[in-house]
Amino acid sequence: AQTVTQSQPEMSVQEAETVTLSCTYDTSESNYYLFWYKQPPSRQMILVIRQEAYKQQNATENRFSVNFQKAAKSFSLKISDSQLGDTAMYFCACNANTGNQFYFGTGTSLTVIP
Amino acid sequence: KAGVTQTPRYLIKTRGQQVTLSCSPISGHRSVSWYQQTPGQGLQFLFEYFSETQRNKGNFPGRFSGRQFSNSRSEMNVSTLELGDSALYLCASSFLPGQGASEKLFFGSGTQLSVL
C-alpha cells in the first residue's frame, strides 16, 4: 500500500507571488507516478501535473512545477505568479501499478489574496 | 465530447435507507472508478470496474457495492446508510485500467450525499 501526507491544511498567497505546497509519500514500489490535482468549488478534480518516478527531471506545466526528491520521498508543488483562479483545494496523489486506485493526501486549501 | 456525468448532484437520505448513485463515463472509456471524499480524509478509493467486472476494491464495508453495465455506465449502492457515509462521491474514468496514471484520469463533479 501507499500513503500520502499533506501537512498544510490551509495556505494563502498574495496574487502574483509564489507559493509551495508540501507532500510526502511512502511506497515500496520502484515504479510509480505522483500527481497534483486541483479541486475548485465546482468539485471537479483537475490534473495539474504528473511526475513519473523513474524520471529525474522535475515536471513543469506553465506556472506549475514540482520538486521531486525521490530519496526523501518528497513531492512539492510550486505555483509561480499566483492567480485568483488558483484558489482551490490541492491534492497530492500516488499510483503504483494499482490500476486506477490512487492514494490521495488530505489536501491543502489554497487561497490567493488579491 | 461530454465529460464524466454523475447524477444526482445532491442527495439527502436518512439513516438506514439505501442509495444508488450513477456515473456515465466519457464516451469510449471503459474503466470506471469510485472515490469517497470527506473533509480531513481526502479521497479514498472505493472500487474500479472494467468490462462489467470489479477489478479492485478499497477498504470499505460490504454495504458499499457497485456494478457496471455493458455500455460502461456504472452505479454504486450504499445500503443501511450511516451518518458517517455523508460525503462527496466522485466517479472517474479512463479508456483502460491503469491509464488513469500513465495517461489521464477524468473525474466527474460528484454526488454530495447527506445522511440525516
Q: What is the pLDDT of residues A82-92, one digit of tens each?
A: 999 999 999 99
Task: Kindly list the strands in the beta sheet with B5-7, ordered across the sheet, starting from the edge strand earlier in the chain.
Answer: B5-7, B19-24, B74-78, B64-68
Please work out, in degrees rounded to the nearest 5, the angle formed at the alpha carbon of residue A10 by the alpha carbons of A87 and A27.
100
**A5-28 average pLDDT score:** 97
Q: How far apart are CA A54 and CA A49, in angstroms?
A: 16
Q: Look-up: residue for cell 468539485? A: A43
Best of B43, B57, B89, B107 to mutate (most A CBs within 10 Å, chain A): B43
Distance from CA of A51 to the nearest CA of B (A): 10
Q: How far apart are CA A92 and CA A106, in angstroms?
A: 8
Peptide bond into B8 cis (omega under 30): yes
Distance from CA of B100 to the nearest CA of A (A): 6
Q: What is the pLDDT of residue A63?
A: 97
Q: Mean pLDDT per segment of 10 residues, for chain B of length 116 residues?
A: 92 97 96 93 93 94 97 97 97 85 86 97
DSSP E strand boundaries for A1-114: 3-5, 10-14, 19-21, 24-26, 33-39, 46-52, 60-61, 64-69, 74-79, 88-95, 103-104, 108-113
Q: Which residues in chain A are contacts of B87 at CB distance < 8 A?
A: none
